[in-house]
Structure 1
Amino acid sequence: MKFRDRVDAAQRLAKNLEGIQNEDPVILAVPRGGVVTGDVIAKTFGLQLDIVVSRKIGSPYNPELAIGAVMHDGSFFPNSDLINSLGVTQDYIDEQIAEQLQEIKRRLTKFRGRLDYDLKNKTVVVVDDGIATGATVFATLGWIKKQNPKRIIIAIPVGPRDTVEKLRQVAEVVVLHEPVIFGAVGEFYDSFDQVEDSQVVEIMRSYGHHKNMK
């Protein structure tokens, strides 16, 4: 399965979310690409769009290999097996968390104008344009669960089967394509252009997220 672009993927994904508007859910998109996907879904059902930001902590030997991920409140969700097998020090982890927290707060301030959330007793739909290792999604899920929501749904066009199966153990998952062989999310799109900060800001402003935006 291949998608023309993020809009095409989101339109197909929305068909699998029919009826969700009856729960008045919070749509939480993952910047940057997931905001385009989330925008289409939110507009399809006449819902509000919000964002959530988590950042992976890369291995000291391979920045692309996630040894965990951190949320805006400093919550760190480690891949303990990797950390132990690679002998990663706590000092390195603390340093990386501090660095990523700065980027998280920059994005949240720029894109939504504030850092607080109210998810208690609500249905939360986390939307992205696809997942690979799932490190940041698992961190996002762990943080959302601490907010005591009523229901959590992960909605993605594509993700590797092994990662999707792990996600299903901790949340409801709506996915259109879960290939066994998986390289990168962009492989499953004809057009997978970089989404710029300015595009995210424009989308978020259309939902009223403009206070304190810079």
Structure 2
Amino acid sequence: MKQYKEILQNRQDAAKKLTEVIPMDKLKDEQWELIAVSHGGLELSTHIKGRLKNRIDILFLEPIMAPNNPECEVARVSETEEIVIQENLIESFEIKLDYVYGEAHRKHEEGILSNIYKFRKGRPFASMKDKVVLLIDEGSETGTKFMTALKTVLAQSPKAVYIAVPVIPSDVLETLEVFVDDIFFLHDIDDYVETSLYYKKLDKIDDETVEKILEENK
């Protein structure tokens, strides 16, 4: 783990290094859709895009936590109400699926719809049918965000789906590779701890920044 600590300066540094492994000519010529799966991924997307004209958007997701452990995520729901469940945790904690689906509906109504109106002025997530999609995040602890985004996008019949992520756990990389056309990454880490550990600086993205990025790239 020590060899990976603070291996990236910030999101801009991570994006610059990612553009060396992403086929940027294809990204430009095929007009890939840059879809962030988090606020941090959204800022990373702007640095990857640079002066290109590719469209940037964010797919809103909400975590579903264990009923008796607010720090343990057991599932995640997307704005199209696709749900990914961590079955091993559901079984270990003996959580009923009714609870998961109920929480997914509540999180969608209270969190996701609020974000759609706040950040996109009510505009729904655009269809990715026949599009080339690049899903982007600054890191990935469990892979649940990417899996939920993949389930959402693949249901819309895209032409191709890629992932760009600077740091990723080795086991998550192996899991995701099955579902995408390619994954562009800088470091796959066996004993992954948390994403912030691998950046010297990882500022919180405020709501105003999210609104500005989406407004400039709608």
TM-score normalized by the length of structure 2: 0.89
- Superposition pairs for residues 34-45 of structure 1, below 5 Å? 34-45=41-52
Runs of 4+ in 1 over 4 A off after TM superposition: none
Q: Which residue of 2 aligns with 1:148?
A: 157
Deviations 1:103-133 (A, max 9, x none): 1122222222311412111100001111111
Pair 1:5-2:15 in alignment: no
Question: 1:146 and 1:7 mapped to 2: Cα distance?
Answer: 31
Pair 1:189-2:199 in alignment: yes
After superposition, the Cα gap between the structure-2 partners of 1:31 and 1:107, relative to the gap in structure 1 and judged at 3 Å, is: farther
Question: 1:139 and 1:167 mapped to 2: Cα distance?
Answer: 11
Displacement after TM superposition at 1:82 (Å): 2.0
Displacement after TM superposition at 1:78 (Å): 1.4
Amino acid aligned to 1:112: R
Q: Which residue of 1 aligns with 2:91?
A: 84
Displacement after TM superposition at 1:34 (Å): 0.7
Displacement after TM superposition at 1:97 (Å): 1.0
Q: Is the 8 A contact 1:21 1:45 kept in 2?
A: yes
Question: 2:87 and 2:186 mapped to 1: Cα distance?
Answer: 30
Q: Is the 8 A contact 1:50 1:112 kept in 2?
A: no
Displacement after TM superposition at 1:12 (Å): 1.1
Q: Which residue of 2 aligns with 1:212?
A: none
Identical columns (%): 26
Q: Is the 8 A contact 2:59 2:125 kept in 1?
A: no
Amino acid aligned to 2:130: N
Amino acid aligned to 1:202: K
Unaligned runs of 5+ in 2: none
**Secondary structure of the residue that 2:166 maps to in structure 1?**
strand
- Superposition pairs for residues 1-214 of structure 1, below 5 Å? 1=4, 2-17=7-22, 18-19=24-25, 20-101=27-108, 102-113=110-121, 114-171=123-180, 172-207=182-217, 209=218
**Secondary structure of the residue that 1:153 maps to in structure 2?**
strand
Displacement after TM superposition at 1:44 (Å): 4.5
After superposition, the Cα gap between the structure-2 partners of 1:123 and 1:14, relative to the gap in structure 1 and judged at 3 Å, is: same
Deviations 1:12-55 (A, max 9, x none): 11221122212111110123111110111122433121111122
Q: Is the 8 A contact 1:66 1:135 kept in 2?
A: no
